[in-house]
Amino acid sequence: VIFHVSMEDLPFGGVGPSGMGSYHAIEGFREFSHARAVYHQPKIDIAKLAGLKPPYGKATDKAAANMMK
């Protein structure tokens, strides 16, 4: 029990009547949430300016061909 209390990453308690369960605090939030990815596009997209995003041009095709040699 002492080791369980000292581990901060473990959820506290058991399941159902055996303890508080993992439906409290951050564990409960993660259990009842559906995680989704969110992409925030910057005003100046450096990756697109560098040719790392489609539509690709001839320079990007040539660089990819050189890397595959």
**Cβ neighbours of 24 (radius 10 Å):** 13
Confidence (pLDDT) at 6: 65
Provide DSSP, 6-63: H-TTSPSS-SGGGSS-S-SHHHHHHHT----------SS-HHHHTT-SSSP-HHHHHH
- pLDDT value at residue 46: 85
3-class SS of residue 1: coil
Q: How far apart are CA 34 and CA 39, in angstroms?
A: 16
> How confident is the model over 2-48, as pLDDT tens digits?
665 566 666 555 555 555 555 666 777 777 888 899 988 888 888 88
Domain spans of the chain, in order of start:
2-31
Higher pLDDT, 66 or 25: 66
